[in-house]
Structure 1
Amino acid sequence: MSHPHRAARLERRVHDLVGQQLGSRGWTPRVVAHTGYGASRAAGPSAGPSTGPNAGGWVRVLARVILAPPGTPSAARTDGRGWRRFVSTAAAGVPLTIDLGGETHTVSSGADGYVDVRLDAALPPGWASASLTVGAAAPVSAPLRIVGPDTSLGLLSDLDDTVIVTMLPRPLLAFRNAFLVREDERRAVPGMAELYDEVLAGSVDAFVVYLSTGAWNTARPMTAFLDRHGYPAGPLLMTDWGPTSDGWFRSGQDHKRTTLRRLFEELPQLRWLLVGDDGQHDPTLYAEAVTAFPDRVVGVAIRELTLSEQLAQVTSPAPGPDVDDPSTRITVRAPDGHALAQALRDRGILPGA
């Protein structure tokens, strides 16, 4: 087996050293729970047998274990300046107890403190929760969105410049937005929350999920932002900005591409409405998804950046699909959620139209 990249080895040594120092000062592990998801029965080729006590049901539990000073409450804060979210110390190899529907599982946090585990579970469709515990700390609740066998629609949305004004590729502005600005000071993209409400009005049990190249450190405050601006609740599937076993930085495109494929394979009963923007790679990635899963995408909605956002991007907006691309017939483009909703209605894509 090849050795991890030197960046990953360096990060691990720094975490170990800092962890030892903080542990000697009384810092202890705490768990930060993220919203997970699952299915109430077997879904996908890797779901296992559909017999037994859980009848093939499963959940994906998402969390992170970090070190916290004495007196820190079990629940993490969701407000505050962004930079404080990026100085947490990961706690690797910490046992985490997961109480799920009366059954107990024990797993260990990964190299960067992350927990991403799929477990068998017999939970009904809708919202549920898992109880997560590390050491002697109080249990923390992790929300779970369980997709039922009769659910037929999935709504997948990007975050940056799709639902929240970010202008991410401009380095200085991205730094300001990510590290300095409170989430309640950031602006929502006009009309997007109303668009998603209209989608859900036509399919009330639709599974909503947000896919982003943003860091997991921002997931909790981003969830608060979505709730405050009226966006429907759903899991946020984000990434780690740290080094990998192959290099200094993770690939945002690979994260989105891999996650899209996983969702399509895990939840084969769903057809998807994919929503993104033309500032980065969403049009290309969504076109690839349509090509790979031609019967699984009901529509693609691309929010076009404003002129000021295009200038902030430095590079030109991502081009649309080619004429021969199968995604062309189901792709609409518009500058905001109101216009996208009308375009989806005109094309007969919006459920209930």
Structure 2
Amino acid sequence: MFLSKLMRALREALYLLGRPARRARARRGLVIQAYRGCGTQERALLIGRVFRQSSGRTARGSWDLWGNIRDVARRLMRRSVAGARVRGSFHGTRTTVETDADGYFHLEISPASPLPPGRLWHTIDLALEGPEGAEAVADVFIPPAQARFAIISDIDDTVMHTGVANKVAMMWRLFVQDAESRTAFPGVSVLYRAFHAGPSGQEANPMLYVSRAPWGIYDILDTFFRRHRIPVGPILFLREWGITWKNPLPRRAEDHKRDVIERMMGLYGDLPFILIGDSGQHDPEVYAEVVSRHRDRVLAVYIRDVSPRRPMRASEIGRIGEEIRAAGSHLVLAPDTVTMAEHACARGWVSDDTVEAVRRRIASLPHRGSRLPEDHPGPMSDTAARQPGQREYDRTAVPEDHI
């Protein structure tokens, strides 16, 4: 019985890990992989990668063990293409950028004509210049005029349990568990949908997710977000660890989160922000620096308390909270999602029924932190169910072959 379950888990994990290789559209072995971007009516930002991948027959399903092993091997043997020229086309504008040493490119492009009204997701056409030209389509989220604020949320130990404070547990969950076996914090999907919808249910506020994990697990995180109905897309900003046989340890990226936040605050210069993180590592310290530089633009800092048995850490966060209050914002150290929802509801950032919807969602789970039916609609407010961003994303669902 145990062996049967183990083999099934292995097949499912291999099928998920090999999915990027199956989805990649290779032309003469070259692939453009575009990650979902974000932007405004004036400009859009996008990250992608160019690599070589061998062709061959792909797995026919999770039961196809050898096919999945081949797909995983093709993914592991991808070779980054440095110096490739990628052309982006977006509503009458063409811009060309070059990939870096790891094969990644950062595209910033401004449309020459007004964007179609009534849409949250727009597309950018990508093409590789030269005789081996590959093509791809990227999806970009652009909020409507009625958006009131933007959310920047950490992922690890904020949205999902990864145990960042426990390195062994984090690495196990990050690279061994698949998306469906990862656990979302109870109620987080309901709260995030409420933030995205706003009190009117029609705001479609930008949801921006930050992680220090490598781009290599983007597909797993994407599956996790879809599985748990966490809005909107999602938009993920990760980093390249630069792991090679010669350099098996990831590169240091202490300023990664800070840099991403600064870029997003510059992009959405007319919106205030809500920052969400956890107490396990450096989120309070990073967010405090952001508040000190942008005093009038940070509505609140929510810190999920994942280290309740560390009184020294609680004392440190208390001191940081005083600094943030002195700078004109406030920090909420939250033991659970309900605490965040209560604070946000009291300030009019979410609908009035959000707190009760979060409570009902948590109560509907078999036990706290269970393997989650967070993807099941469960009890939620009518406002959250009507929120336009999720409807738009469901309707324009980013095609599987875009990724």
TM-score tier by shorter-chain length is: 0.7 to 0.9
Instruction: Evaluate the alpha carbon distance shift between residue 349 and residue 282 of structure 1 in structure 2; reply closer, same or farther with a 3 A threshold.
Output: farther
Structure 2 unaligned spans of 5+: 1-26, 59-67, 244-248, 353-403
Instruction: Evaluate the alpha carbon distance shift between residue 99 and residue 328 of structure 1 in structure 2; reply closer, same or farther with a 3 A threshold.
Output: closer
Contact residue 36 and residue 235 of structure 2 kept, 8 A: yes
Structure 1 consecutive aligned stretches of length 4 or more whose deviation exceeds 6 Å: 83-86
The 1-side partners of 2:218 and 2:89 are apart by 22
Instruction: Evaluate the alpha carbon distance shift between residue 112 and residue 138 of structure 1 in structure 2; reply closer, same or farther with a 3 A threshold.
Output: closer
1:329 Cα offset (Å): 5.0
Q: In proportion to residue count, which structure has more strand? A: 1
The 1-side partners of 2:76 and 2:235 are apart by 21
Corresponding position of 1:213? 212
1:276 Cα offset (Å): 0.7
- The TM-score normalised by the length of structure 2 is 0.66
Instruction: Evaluate the alpha carbon distance shift between residue 72 and residue 66 of structure 1 in structure 2; reply closer, same or farther with a 3 A threshold.
Output: farther
1:302 Cα offset (Å): 0.9
Aligned residues: 296
Contact residue 298 and residue 330 of structure 1 kept, 8 A: yes
Q: Residue 62 of structure 1 aligns to which amino acid in structure 2?
A: I
Corresponding position of 1:21? none
Contact residue 152 and residue 269 of structure 1 kept, 8 A: no
Which residues in structure 2 correspond to 1:302-313 (within 5 Å)? 302-305=303-306
1:97 Cα offset (Å): 3.0
Match 1:197 to one of 189, 193, 200: 193
Corresponding position of 1:187? 183
1:352 Cα offset (Å): 4.2
Which residues in structure 2 correspond to 1:112-261 (within 5 Å)? 112-121=102-111, 122=113, 123-124=115-116, 126-134=120-128, 139-202=135-198, 204-233=203-232, 234-242=234-242, 250-261=251-262
Instruction: Evaluate the alpha carbon distance shift between residue 261 and residue 277 of structure 1 in structure 2; reply closer, same or farther with a 3 A threshold.
Output: same
Is the aligned partner of 1:66 residue 2:56? no
Instruction: State the identity %.
Output: 27
1:250 Cα offset (Å): 3.9
What is the root-mean-square deviation of aligned Cα atoms in Å?
Answer: 3.0
Instruction: Evaluate the alpha carbon distance shift between residue 201 and residue 118 of structure 1 in structure 2; reply closer, same or farther with a 3 A threshold.
Output: closer
3-state DSSP of counterpart to 1:319:
helix
Q: Which moved more, 1:112-121 or 1:201-210?
A: 201-210
Q: Residue 159 of structure 1 aligns to which amino acid in structure 2?
A: I
**Which string of whole-angstrom CA distances, capped at 9 and with x for unpartnered residues, describes residues 38-59 of structure 1?**
110xxxxxxxxxxxxxxxx211
Structure 1 unaligned spans of 5+: 1-25, 41-56, 74-79
3-state DSSP of counterpart to 1:194:
helix
1:322 Cα offset (Å): 4.7
1:215 Cα offset (Å): 1.0
Corresponding position of 1:110? 100
Q: In proportion to residue count, which structure has more helix? A: 2
Instruction: Evaluate the alpha carbon distance shift between residue 101 and residue 324 of structure 1 in structure 2; reply closer, same or farther with a 3 A threshold.
Output: closer
3-state DSSP of counterpart to 1:147:
coil
The 2-side partners of 1:86 and 1:190 are apart by 34
